[in-house]
Every structure is written in C-alpha cells, then in structure tokens.
Structure 1
Amino acid sequence: MKTRLTPRSDKNTPFRQWTGPLTEEIVLRPAEFGLGQLPNPQQPDATTESVCGYCATGCSLKVHLKDSEAFNLSADANYPVNLGMACPKGWESLAPLKATDRATTPLLRDASGKLNPITWEEAMLEMITRFKSIKQRHGGRALSWLSTGQIPSEEMAFLGALCKFGMGMIHGDGNTRQCMATAVAAYKESFGFDAPPYTYQDFEESDVLVFVGSNLCITHPIMWQRVMRNRRNPEIIVLDPRRTETAMAATKHLPLRPKSDLALLYCFARLLVENDWLDNDFIQAHTEGFSELKEFLLNGPYDLATVAELSGLDQGAIFEVARMIGSGKRVSLWWTMGVNQSYEGTRVAQAIINLALLTGNIGKPGTGANSITGQCNAMGSRLFSNSTNLLGGHKFTLAKDRSKIAGILGIEEDCIPQEDSWAYDEILEGVERGEIKGLWIIATNTAHSWINQNRWNKLREQLDFMVVQDMYHTSETAQMADLVLPAAGWGEKEGTFINSERRIGRTRKVSRAPGQALADFHIFQLVAHYWGCGELFNRWNSPEAVFKILTEVSKGQPCDISGIKDYAMIESEGGIQWPLPEGTEAFDTQRRLFADGQFFYPSGRAKLIFEAPRKLPEATDVEYPFTLLTGRGSSSQWHTQTRTGKSDVLRKLYPAKSYIEINPKDAERLGIESESKVVISSRRGEITASAHLTPITPVGSIFAPMHYREVNQLTHSSFDPQSRQPNYKACAVQVCKA
C-alpha cells in the first residue's frame, strides 16, 4: 500500500497526508538501520582504537570499553601521527556524547513556533513532502544542502550522491569552505590537483620552519609537539601580526601589519632572485612561469625598502628571513587560517608555494609548501563530498569524468549534473534572492559560524523549509530549524577520516547513540528510501561498502586509493596516506608527494602563479580605527563550542563569556581597564565583551576568539575570488568603554 502525503501550503500548519504520487510501496522502519545497536567488539570489556573527531591532526585514541560501552580513553602510542600524545579536546572527546541536550528524537516546529517530538516516519514524510513540493513549484535548483568536514568520508559521499544523483539538487557545499577552500584553490592552480605534499615527519626533519598566519601551539598542539621533537636545532620563523604562543616559542617573529603578507612574500621572492638564492635546475626542469614571475617581482613595488615600510618590519629582519629560505637547507613553509580566511588568500598561499618551488624545497624530507587542515575530515570533504568536485577529484564539467563515475556507480549519466555547484556564500545569496527555498544543513552550525551573522538571520526568513541534522537540538542553527533530525556523533558510528598529511584513518562506533538518534549514514538511507531513489544506492549498504566504492572512483586519480583493500588494512598499517594505487606491494608509513618532481599537469610542471595585492575590502578609518583579528582562543575550544562546551573540564580552561585582546597602549588611550566591559562596533553590528589587556595584540588591532557567537555579528562579507572563502580575519571596528 502506497504512503500518501499532502503538501502544506504554509510551513507552520500541522502535518497532513499527501494526495500526489509517491513511489514507496512500504514504510522503512528506523530499526532496520541499527537504531540503538551496541558496538560489537569481540569482548564486552576491551580496548579498541579510533581516530579523533575534532581537528585534522588525525590522532588515534585508545577507547576502553566496559560492557561494550566506552568509559575512558588514552592516547595511542603506536600510531604514527600522535605517538602517544593527545590534546585537551582529545582527552575529553567522550564527554560530548553524554550531554543532556542531545537530540534524541525528530522535532517538528508547530504553528506556535515550538519544536515538538515526532516519529522518524513522520519526519521523513514531512521532509520529503516539503522538499518535493518546493522542487515541483520551483525546480531542483530551489533545493540545496550545506554540510561539514566533521563526518566520515563515507557519509559525505553518500550525502553528495543522494542530493545530486538521487534528489536532483544542483547546489551544495560544506563548511570546509570556511577553513580549507583557499588551500584547495591554490594547490589546484599551482600543482594541478588539491595535493598537500608533506608528511608529519617533515616537522622533525626541517632546518628552517616558516609558519605564516599559524598559531600551531594552540590550533594543532600535537603537530607543535612534532616540531619540538626536531633534533636539527631548526630556525622557527613566524609571520603573524600577533605575538602568539607560537611566535613566543619561535627563534624569529616578524610582526607584520595585518594583510601585508602578500607583499612581504613577494619581497622574499624578489630577494631570492636578486641574490640568486634559487634552485635554478629545479626551476628549469619542473616549473613554468618563472620569467613572468621574475619580471613581476623586479618591476613591482616589492623592493626591501618599500615592503619594510608597508609591513612595519625592519629591513634587516626581512632580508635575514629571505636568506634563510634561500639557504639551501631543508626549508618547510606552513600555513593555516591566517592565510586561508582572507580576501586574497589563494594568492598568498601561492606566494608561499612559489617560495618552495623557487628553492626546490618540495618532495624531499623536511620541505614543502604545506597547508595545515582544520577539521578532522576536511580532506575527505575536499575529495569525496561530491560538492566542489565530482567524486574523487573528478569534474562535473567533463563528459569523460561523468561517464566514468556513472559506470562505476551503475547509474544513468544524465543523473550527474554537468555544472559545478555554487559555493557556500553563493548558496546563501541564492536564498537571499529567493531562488533557493529549501535547505538541508548537516553537522554544521551556520547560525553561529557564518560571516556577518545578522545577514544570515535575515535571509533565513526567505526559506520555506529548513532541515537541520545535528547531535544537539540546542545549537543556534537547530533552534532556527523547521525540522530537526537527531544524529549520532563521533564514537557512535563507523567510517574513515583523512587528515592533513593525507592519511586515511579509521573511526569506530564505541557507544550507543541516545534515544532514536541515528548515524548520518542511516539517515541518508532513510531519505533515499522515502524520496524514492533507494535503488540507486543498493550497493551503499554499509560504510565499508561505500569505502570500497570510493577506492574504485579514485582509481587513476592523483588521490588513487585503489590499493586499500578494506578497513582491516587501514588499521593494520596505522592509517594509510593517499595515493596507494592497486598493485602497490610495499610502502612507507611516512610518504610525501613530488619526490620525482612531477606535478599533476600534463606537462608535469608546477605553475608559478602571482597577482598584485589588492586593497582591504574594509580598511580602518577615523570612525572605525581598529582592525579586528579573529582566530582560535585556546586549545580546549573548538569552532562554535557545540561539543567542547559540553565538557566540564574544557570549560574550566577558557573564559565562559566573550572577550577581546587589546594592547595596553590602546587601552590607556581609551580609558579601558583590565577585564572591564567594552563595546565593539562595526558597520554591521555591535557587541559587548570583556577587555583583556595584553601586548600580544599590536597597537591598532584587537583580537576576538571565533568561538563566541557575538563575534560574527561584526565580520565583513567579503570573499577570496578564487576560493570563495570568507575573509574572517580583518575588518574595521571601533572600541569604547561600555
């Protein structure tokens, strides 16, 4: 008997039956998808390993089980990433699973605006009715999804395939756009593929380590510990406006003015050229565009005197760093969000890449132009989410790629869109224009994390129906949803993550999901069934089955993992870095790319790419004289704190309420005392926070940790044109006593 539903004309009216056709002959019960199933170790009291679900370091944790349930954990001493170490978030990673505000049943908003519990069947019928009604009235482009870098690759792939191949959506993106899109764009243009070249062993084997816009001590503590294991007595150079914890520990800190980084990097390159601190053989054999870059550098305003004045740095300090980069020793260059979250971040990243190419510092131990990834599975999102590119780094716009993927998946080629998806900001602009009416948000907290928050609050009202799928019903985004779907979190489901060094690691189910919460994987199965496209995904019956599909789609790509047989192989090898093509007999635990000097363009050469710096989208002026800098507050905080905020231990390690850091000289001039309340205003909003006086932050700037929701009421809606990544790091504000 067919299930029949009635579409609602108003999103607040109660659920009714559908009168149009649905293809479903049966109702699939959530119990069929493992609702409430226990972990299944060989013994109820045992220890198993699972890769951590916070950042992209990819540490392995030993999870200790009692009566088949996780009760404690310790660091895995044998895993090649963390070598027995863990950061505060890792030690406390079980705490968020026991939070009292977990979403345990689907919730539907009623006419009064209240979210009420409903059954999974009602939730699925409601979601499918509303989305199909929107599609029928406005077309497939009126539906979109926003996902995450926090769920396993298998779930990401399932979601992207379901939305595009099954439900007919065109546009979807992930919050990886907020952290890694710039690095992706830079690598693709420079190397021909999104390919971080390094392995963590390079932290320990460099003679010179250059960190640009990276506070590694705080953002990736285990990586910093790898730096501290370096026995080569390395020079550690930090380029950052703030005297961060990493800068304090460095041998040299260049406190450049905010957003003068691109000109400074071009100055380094010019000094390399002028002093012939180059690897000319490497340049000639393995790059293209050197003569054009040389002309650009020598004829532009990148001379030492000009850049020293622009950046506020000493000429001698700039010269000395350039000399170290061109020393002929092992030099590695590293960057994170200080580069990526910028209006011209792609060109800054490529200026870093150029320095590595000009000096031949790539493909060898202790070298590389190395982006440090943010989220635990941002690399999995980049390769397999089916949003920014077709599965496995293929292209939606190439007929041969569509044909290959369709053949592997056993679907019709015309199921695959022939155009690229809009980026995150373009999707939200589509909502603002009224072109997108239905939005599905999975495992991300847009209402907190998106730039220029007040703009998001207004465009939310343009949506006819918004579904939020999350661990918690209390997140800022879930509280704005029409329908909340309760999802399992890390430790409650199976899959794989890909870390910063391209290592694929196993994450395990070690605890029950509470109530009726389901793994995202099983929610996607339910949606596929109720939508009527379940047959497309008959092979997608378990995370490991999907992983094997991903090994097939990757074959022949730079990220080829066709040589990975199964999950057991990943576990036995201590994680496996891509690539690993089929037929690989032996491989090292630590592998880097480009050892042969061959890049991913048909010519085999890397491209030296450059562009003149652009002006700040919003510079300071008399009315708004301070530059607002944002970033990680402490190693115990994570993103919007939906998880770290659930740990009693972690909450004791950072301030409960928002604060800013301001230089004592600025504070004295404004009459601001330590820990007093201040008002920070931009052209978009106004917030109140405590003032922490510290010389860490330079005169003329303030710093605000990104973890407090208020901060993104201030940030400016500007984006890198190549990567579409938001410019979180610099906008104009004013500060005064509250």
Structure 2
Amino acid sequence: MRHDAPLAGPVPTRTTCPYCGVGCGVLATPDGKGGAAIAGDPDHPANRGRLCSKGSALGETLGLGTRVLHPLKRSARGTYDRVSWEEALDAVAAGLKAIIDRDGPESVALYLSGQLLTEDYYVANKLMKGFIGSPHVDTNSRLCMASTVAGQRRVFGSDTVPGCYEDLDSADLIVLVGSNTAWCHPILFRRIQQNRAERGAKVVVIDPRVTATAEDADLTLALKPGSDSALFAGLLIHLADTGLLDHDYIERHVAGFEAALANARDIAPNLAAVANLTGLSKTDIASFYALWASTPAVVTAWSQGVNQSAQGTDKVAAILHCHLASGRIGRPGAGPFSLTGQPNAMGGREVGGLANMLAAHMGYSSAEIDRVRRFWRAPRMAQAEGLKAVAMMEAVTERRIKAMWVMATNPAVSLPRADAVQAALRGLDLFIVSENVLSNDTLAAGPHYILPAAAWGEKDGTVTNSERRISRQRGFLALPGEAKPDWWIICEVAERLGFEEAFDYGGPHEIYAEHAALSAFENAGSRDFDIGAHAELTRRAYDGLAPVQWPAPVDRPEGTPRLFADGGFFAADRKAKLQPLAIPALAAATSDTFPLLLNTGRVRDHWHTMTRTGLSARLSGHIAEPTVLVHPDDAARFGLAEKGFARIATTHGAVILKVALDPGAQPGSLFAPIHWSAENASGARVGAAVQPLVDPFSGQPELKATPAAIVPVSFRSRGFLLGADGFVLPKRSWWTRVAVEGGQGLLFATPADVAEIMQLAREAFGPEGLLEMVDAERGLYRCALIRDGRLAAALFLGPDHDAPVWDAVKLAFAGGEVDPGQRLALLSGRSLDGAADQGPTVCACFGVGLNAIRAAFAEGATITVEDIGRKLKAGTNCGSCLPEIRRIGAQARVEVPA
C-alpha cells in the first residue's frame, strides 16, 4: 500500500532530513506514485548537498504498509476498532476533563519527541502548561541533550550553543568527546575530515571505546567511563599554571573563576591524579593539554557520551570552563559545541518541551510564569517545574499520573527499565498515543486511543538543528488515509476542552508567528532566544522561509552565527558563572555479580527504534542483528565466541545478543545498540536492562554504565527465513527481523533440530512447489518454495557452528524467475547468475559490499582509499564508511606478501 497522488507534479521540494540534529537540507521530488527521489540540497548551509546513508535512503521508507491511517479505539477484547475523528477527539477530551476534574491537572502528562515539529511542540506545551495547568510535559530529548541544556543554563544563564558548523571548517583543533561522529553525525564528520585534509587541523577523540571516529584521529584518549570532568578539570589547571588564561575575558565576562579553579585542584591536583581518575597515561594527557592549550582555534564538541551520564551536567560545565577561561568562545573556529541527537531536539527546547522549562527558553521564576501567562492569556498556568521523563514514568507506576498522551516516540523501548515502563503504561486510566506506525512496543502496552499522525514527507513546519539554525520541513506528499498533523490533533482536543479561541490557528504559519512573537515579548535582549523578526510572517513568507540561525530579533533578521565572543551572557550581571563540580565517579560500581559496565548507543545506518530505517533493505545490510561488542580479553574471560550468543543481565532486566569481538572496546565494558525492540527482535530491547539512575541537575538517565553480567548462550541450530511471514519458530528461539529486497527476512537461532524445523516448514509451505535438501546427520535442512516460477520463500538451517549465509538467496528472492536448471544452485546457496557475492554491506549509500572492496584492494599494493572511491564510489558520499574501508585496505596489505 502506498501514498495517494502527491500534492504537486515532479518539482523538487526543499525540506529537512528527519534524522539527527545536523539538520541536512533535502530535495524531495515526488515520483507520482506515492514515493519520491531524494537528494541533498546543495544550497542548505548545514550539508551543502551531502546526505548520509540514512538520509539517502529516505525514499525507501515512504510506503504505507506499516502506517496507522485511521483513528483507532481499543475494544473490551483488547483489539482495535476504527472510529471517526469526531468520536476519537470527543472521547480523548472527555477523558482528560474527567480525570482533571477528579484528580487535578497534575494527574495528566504529555510525553513528546524530538521528531515533532516546533509548531506541534508549541501548541502541546501551550495546552498543558497554560490551559490545563499541568507542568508534566517532557520529551525523549531528556534522554538526548538534557545535560547540555542544564550545563549551559547553569554556566551561560541560557541554553545557548555559542558556535556554528563553519567553526568545524576553520578550527585548527577539533576535540570530539563521547561522540562517534563518523557514525552518528556523518555529514559533520566529513566536514571535519575535509578540514583535516585541506588545512591540517588536528582531531582528538575522547571516548572509552575506540570507535570509527577514533580511527581517523590524531590522538585518541580511551578514558575510563565517567571520568571526562576530571580530564577537563586538569586542563583548566594546566591553562592556569602555564599562563594561558585570558584574564581580561575572565575579568569582564566570567564570575566564580577562582572558586572553580580551586574546585578543579581538589578534583585533579596534578597529572598523576588525572591519570589515576581517567586511566590514561600521563604522556597522553600531557600531549592533549599541550595541544589544546597551544591552539587558539579549538572546537570541543560532544554528544551522548557526555550527556547520557549521571554526571553529564558537570561534564558539560567542565568543558565550558576551559573555553571561558581561555576566551576561546564565539570566535571563528573556537568554542564549545553540543552535537544534538534529534532533528528538532533544539526546537522542542525553544518552546518549553522539557518539564523544567517554559516556552521561549523561559524558566519557572514567578516573573517568567507571569510573562507567559499574560502573553497566552492563560487561565491556569503551571506554577512549578514538572516531572522529568524517568520520574514521570515512576509517577505513572505509582498512579500519581492517571492519564498520559505520548506523541511520536517509543518510551517502552527507549527509557530505562523499559519493561517496567511498558507495564506502567498499561495501568493508566487514559492512555493516548499519536503515531504514524501501526505497531511498536509502546502501542503493545494497549493505548485506549491511537491517533494517526502525519509522517515525514507530509508534515509542514520548522525544525532547529545543532547550530541554532531554523529550517523548514515541507510536505511533498498528500496526507494518507485520515492522518492529520500533530498540531491539528492537539488544537482539536483543546477546542473540545473549551479553549477554542486560543487554539484557533489557520495553519502552522500562524503557530510559528505566535511562537516568534512570544520569543520577543518583553525581551529587549534579556533572553537568548529571540526570533522576533518572524513574528509577522505571512503564509507566503513562511512557505519561503530560508534557513536562519537564531537569535534573529527584529533588528537582525539575518540571524546570528556566533555568540559570547564579547560576553553578553544571559544573567543579571551579563556574566557566565563557573560551577563547582562533583568528584568524578562511575555511575554505579561493578561487583562480583555484575562485573561489567553496559554502554548503549547507535549503529551507523539505523535510527532510534527502526520504525523508519527498518523499512530499508539497504540500511539493514551493514549491521543486521542486535549485537554486543566485547573486548577479546573479556570474551575469553567469560567463555564467549565470535558470532555466538550471550545473555547480558542487570538488576533490571536481560537481553540476548549476538557477540562481536571488538579490540576497540574497553576491557570491562560492553556496548549494545538501542535500536532493536520486541517488534523486530526477540529479547533484544536493551532499554529493559538499563538502570534508572539520573543526573541530579538534568534528570538525564545514565545510559552508558549499567553494572552487568554476561554469560554465553548456545543453540542447536541457526538459519534464515525469507518470505512466509506467518511462519512461527519453536519456543525459546532467538530471532531478528530484517528488511530485504522483496519483503522481510528472519535470521534465527533455535534449540530445535532438523526434524522439527522441517515439519514446521512443510506445514507452513505445503507440498506444491517445495524443493528440499536434507542432511539430518550434519544438521542441515534447506528448502525453497517456488510459486509461478519465482522464489516465494526459503528456509535454510545449519548447525550452530556453521550457520548458512543468505546473501545469494536474498538476490534470488528479490529477483525474477528461477529457472528449473537453477534449483540446485539455489539450494546450495550459490548465486543464480554467477555474479560474485558482494558480502556484507560496507557503503550503504551506494550498496557496496565487503567482497567488492577486498577484490579492488587485491588489484595492487598501491591501491588507496581514494582509488576505491573512484572505482566503486564507496565512501564518496557521507564518508561514514571510510574508516572501515581503511581497515579493509590495511588488512589486505597484511595478507598479501610484499
């Protein structure tokens, strides 16, 4: 099932990518059949025409097969019935009103998402915080950037990113802290590498794991988890002791410096103390300090390795202190830089999407509450900060929150103690979900109403990227079925609650204009967020809005690339305030029972819980299975085998993942990706095992260091299944669902033997057109179902130590007719057309496999990565695969004698 006809002809629409916070511009050209051709927008300053593998594959994720297209109501039987919008909206409003009347406004909550557009976010916050009167509005950005928000507000007085992407082009030193930029922000990493190649910029990577990013660095500091603030406290001392402080800047623009320096000396009095806390050598620490101190044009950029920590706010502050003390802030090529995780995490922050903020970057002081109240003419303003995400879900468990509306996110996968979260959601008196997918783990908790929301390609609004750049996300496809924009759904509920006048918008342009007007209301330069230049935008001007960096006040409509070079911080005295830091400590101690630390994060080609990227066969080619990365020494210690399976357990839950040996992993640490859920794998929802410990300032959970244990898990057989969506594996089997060309595939491991699997296959497929090959003694079974001359399904099974490879069979499944003479080749797993097996995908942008790259390197000892790009195109788009291509080349040169 696909989209209806597009709104316009095949004319490119300028829009913005819906993935990470880089905020790349996209040109989407509808194909007239419900799809679109996707290209990077060469005129967008964030990406200059480049897209990463995920952005390049957006056109492969536009089908409607997984979409919810009509309002749905849960029946007494637990099934869902289609209802009209009128019935659904009336029931949601009536249910909210009844609970508010009975239990008060603080018994209801919203849980939002960085996938929402700013206009959606704005009306959601306005309704809850100004008209219902509940402060309990939080967002999955709490899991992403909350520690940066808290750190910047504590030090700068505002949630302000001082610099811009151009600084990555002009810096002479770029320090990446807790950020696998090559995989998670590939377009920015490409800019960094271009600077390195053309200008000789140095790159330092600070991360417990030696990631793909670290492989292209001049210096890698694989520090102990949780010790970042000690490293930067030591840097502050080094700057002071070597006479490299900017005393003039400190005197004019910084408060609390002497206390902060004394605090740093308490934490890291000397190089030996820093080495002890971080686990780094004194030589490497001294090299880093000397390089940072001697390079005026330095950008220190960080991401989730800093934020997702029980001391994340302190880590951010420690970085900010060094830039402030040396005056390296707000200048070309110099400044601290937060790399945001989601496409509109910053837009959500702008409108008060976090429970501890009000709209337009205002807080909960009495003056700010009153200001927002007067602007909105709000009848019932929230009077204090609300519950942050983890605490909010605890309140649901404890029945203090009785109603929750979840929009565009999947908390039953992403939050710590995810199983407990899912169970808590089931107990709500009223549970509403606005979604564009028909099935995910949160929907499995049984919401009373599922409201069909517009998806990327249909939405119309704005997003703000990591460099404060506001860009338009424009719709280029018609709304399918009865799907509606989130802002429309919220306003319709608000109308039914009696707030029609305040939510009577003619479109997102009017919401944006109001948002802009509030940002300028009684501001006069006292607050950082000011887009007053947009307060009078007409629909036409809004439709044509070019990317712009805030602040963009009335007198500066062109925007502002950098801030704070000359001070002007957003505090009463206009000074930044350095903060005392806690003594660094691991989030939780290991023990004999839980001797390892579980770290979580992303893989290169997938996003969040894969409701979008999981539809693309191309994006599933690089890493297809949920995997735990283990240092070889730990694998030997715990009896784990490469490509075997392991059970990772914590006090909160357990997962079973495939094992991959990773010399870049730190001994004592495990790394597991966040993307797999109960929808696409068995027992691989890593959030279920993560502890709920949070940062005391930001409320951001510690997702990088949960004490864990690991043991090997064995199965009798392994195999794959193509087609046959209704095939049911035996109990206690492990499986993961993978998008393949032509349908869905399943990789599995099972305790069953050949006889049991063969019987299940025969029952599922029937005798007609079924080809089989059986060798029970060796544990082999292979079958293929031929229907109308095509491969309709295939199941290959082998013993646990010799799992069958599906690459050639996948090609047959995606291809045309299977000639009778090719059947033996099919069951043997060989390519039907004699083409070479491409092997696992390395370059997802151009679909280049491992074997093709190895073959190209084998042509001669002088073959370079650039030669591979010219020959195969691999690595020439976003460049996120370049570290892997270099590894393949290095291995090829080792294997081929000189």
Task: Give me the TM-score of the superposition, normalised by structure 2.
Answer: 0.75
1:315 equivalent in structure 2: 282
CA distance in 1, matches of 2:461, 2:365: 29
Structure 2 equivalent of residue 375 of structure 1:
342
Q: 2:572 aligns with which of 602, 608, 611?
A: 602
Q: C-alpha root-mean-square deviation of aligned residues, in Å?
A: 1.9
1:291-310 alignment, distance < 5 Å: 291-310=258-277
Return 558-567 or 708-717, whichever deviates more: 558-567
Matches for 1:87-98 after TM superposition, within 5 Å:
87-98=52-63
* Corresponding position of 1:408: 375
Whether 2:584 is the aligned partner of 1:582: answer: no
In structure 2, the partner of 1:134 is 99
Deviations 1:519-541 (A, max 9, x none): 11221122122222212222x22
Q: Is the 8 A contact 2:15 2:473 kept in 1?
A: yes
State the shift of 1:280 in Å. Answer: 2.0
Residues 458-497 of structure 1 aligned to structure 2 (within 5 Å): 458-480=423-445, 481-497=447-463
Deviation at 1:402, TM superposition (A): 3.7
Higher mean C-alpha displacement, 58-67 vs 563-572 = 563-572
CA distance in structure 1 between the partners assigned to 2:563 and 2:552 by the alignment: 12
Cα separation, partners in 2 of 1:300 and 1:475, compared to 1, 3 Å: closer
**Aligned-residue offset at 1:416:** 1.8
Whether the 8 Å contact between 2:638 and 2:711 is mirrored in structure 1 is: yes
Q: How does 1:230-379 map onto structure 2 within 5 Å?
A: 230=195, 231-379=198-346
- Give me the whole-angstrom Cα distance separating, in 2, the residues matched to 1:506 and 1:587: 15
Q: Is the 8 A contact 2:472 2:545 kept in 1?
A: no
Deviation at 1:91, TM superposition (A): 1.4
Distance change (3 Å), C-alpha of 1:559 and 1:39: farther
2:693 to 701, 718, 733: 718
Equivalent position of 1:25 in the other structure: none
Evaluate the alpha carbon distance shift between residue 571 and residue 101 of structure 1 in structure 2; reply closer, same or farther with a 3 A threshold: closer
Equivalent-residue separation in structure 1 for 2:267 and 2:621 (angstroms): 51
Could you say if the C-alpha distance between residues 133 and 226 of structure 1 is closer, same or farther in structure 2, counting changes exceeding 3 Å?
A: same
Q: Is the 8 A contact 2:17 2:343 kept in 1?
A: yes
Deviates more, 1:60-69 or 1:274-283: 60-69
Corresponding position of 2:892: none
What SS does the corresponding residue of 2:532 show, helix, strand or coil?
coil
Name stretches of at least 5 consecutive residues in structure 1 with no aligned partner: 1-35
Greater shift, 566-575 or 127-136, is seen at 566-575
Match of 1:666 among 621, 634, 639: 634
Paired residue type of 2:200: N
2:69 equivalent among 91, 104, 110: 104
Q: Give SS of 2:477's match.
A: coil
Residue 695 of structure 1: SS of its match in structure 2? coil
After alignment, is 176-185 or 608-617 more displaced?
608-617
Amino acid at match of 1:580: A
Out of 490, 497, 502, which is 2:468 matched to?
A: 502
**Partners in 1 of 2:210 and 2:342 — Cα distance?**
24
Give the distance between the partners of 1:611 and 1:298, measured in 2 at CA: 11
Whether contact under 8 Å (2:299, 2:337) holds in the other structure is yes
**What's the counterpart of residue 765 of structure 2?**
none
Aligned to 1:629: 599
Query: In the alignment, is the contact (CA less than 8 A) between 1:68 and 1:510 conserved in 2?
Result: no
- Structure 2 counterpart of 1:727, from 702, 706, 714: 702
Q: Using the alignment, how far apart are the partners of 1:47 and 1:586 within structure 2?
A: 25
SS of 1:295 mapped into structure 2 = helix
CA contact 1:717–1:727 (8 Å) conserved in 2 = yes
* Aligned equivalents of 2:556, 2:646: Cα separation in 1: 60
d(CA) in 1 for partners of 2:37, 2:439:
26
CA displacement at 1:70 relative to structure 2: 5.0
CA contact 2:431–2:449 (8 Å) conserved in 1: yes
Question: In the TM superposition, what whole-angstrom CA distance separates every residue of 1:503-530 from its partner, at most 9, and x where no partner exists?
Answer: 0000111112321111112211221222
- Compute the displacement of 1:448 (Å): 0.6
Structure 1 pair 585–727 and aligned structure 2 pair: CA distance change class (3 A): closer
For the Cα contact (< 8 Å) 2:692–2:701, is it kept in 1? yes
Paired residue type of 1:623: T
Task: Give the 3 Å change call, closer, same or farther, for CA 302–489 of structure 1 in structure 2.
Answer: farther
Structure with the greater alpha carbon radius of gyration:
2
Asked if the contact 1:504/1:570 (under 8 Å) is kept, the reply is no
Q: Distance in 2 between matches of 1:210 and 1:621?
A: 33
- Give the whole-Å Cα distance in 1 for the aligned partners of 2:701 and 2:16: 29
Q: Describe the superposition over 1:372-411 as per-residue Cα deviations: whole angstroms up to 9, x where unpaired.
A: 1111001110011454322111234323x344334433x2
Alignment of 1:183-262 (within 5 A): 183-230=148-195, 231-262=198-229
Identity, in percent, stands at: 33
Unaligned regions of 5+ residues in structure 2, if any?
A: 678-684, 714-898
Residues in 2 aligned to 1:356 and 1:417: alpha-carbon distance in whole angstroms? 36
Q: 1:522 aligned to 2:488?
A: yes
Q: Give the partner amino acid of 1:91.
A: S
Work out the CA distance in 2 between the residues paired with 1:624 and 1:587.
51
Is contact 1:269–1:322 with CA below 8 Å preserved after alignment?
no
1:708 maps to 676
Aligned equivalent of 2:657: 689
- Contact preservation (8 Å) 1:680, 1:734: yes
CA contact (8 A) 1:212 1:334 kept: yes
Amino acid at match of 1:296: N
Residue equivalent to 1:75: 40
Give the conservation status (yes or no) of the 8 Å contact 1:99–1:646: no
The aligned residue for residue 31 of structure 1 is none
Is the contact between residue 551 and residue 559 of structure 2 (CA under 8 Å) also seen in structure 1?
no
Asked if the contact 2:422/2:442 (under 8 Å) is kept, the reply is no
Q: Structure 2 residue aligned with 1:511, among 477, 482, 500?
A: 477
1:146–1:234: structure 2 CA closer, same or farther, 3 Å change rule?
Answer: same
Q: CA deviation at 1:618?
A: 2.1
The answer as to whether partners of 2:173 and 2:295 remain within 8 angstroms in 1 is: no
1:320, distance to aligned residue in structure 2 (A): 1.3
2:133 matches 1:163: no
Give distance in 1, aligned partners of 2:575 and 2:259: 15
Q: Which residue of 2 aligns with 1:6?
A: none
Tell me if structure 1 keeps the 8 A contact 2:227–2:584: no
Once the two structures are TM-superposed, the CA of residue 586 in structure 1 deviates from its matched residue by 5.5
Q: What is the alpha-carbon distance in structure 2 between the residues aligned to residue 729 and residue 205 of structure 1?
A: 32
Q: Report what 2:401 is aligned to.
A: 436
Say whether residues 1:620 and 2:590 are aligned partners: yes
- The answer on whether the counterparts of 2:509 and 2:542 sit within 8 Å (CA) in structure 1 is no
Cα shift at 1:568: 5.7
Number of residues of Structure 1 aligned to a counterpart in Structure 2: 693
Between the two structures, name the one with larger relative contact order (CA 8 Å, sep ≥ 6).
1
Q: CA deviation at 1:68?
A: 9.5
- Contact (CA 8 Å) 1:80, 1:574: kept in 2 or not? no
**1:658 offset after TM fit, Å?**
1.4
**Aligned residue number for residue 679 of structure 1:** 647
Q: Report how far residue 328 of structure 1 moved.
A: 4.5
Alpha-carbon separation, structure 2, partners of 1:37 and 1:663: 50
Are positions 1:455 and 2:420 aligned together?
yes
Spell out, residue by residue over 1:266-297, the C-alpha distance to the aligned partner (whole angstroms, 9 max, x if none). Answer: 12222222222222222222111111122223
Q: Which amino acid aligns with 1:528?
A: A
What TM-score results when the alignment is normalised by the length of structure 1?
0.91
2:475 alignment partner, SS class: coil
Q: Distance in 1 between matches of 2:270 and 2:64?
A: 56
Q: Deviations over 1:212-270 (max 9, x none)?
A: 10110011001111112213211101110111011110000001111122212212222
Q: Distance in 1 between matches of 2:414 and 2:319?
A: 27
**SS where residue 229 of structure 1 aligns?**
helix
Cα shift at 1:677: 0.9
2:826 aligns to what? Answer: none
Deviation at 1:167, TM superposition (A): 3.2
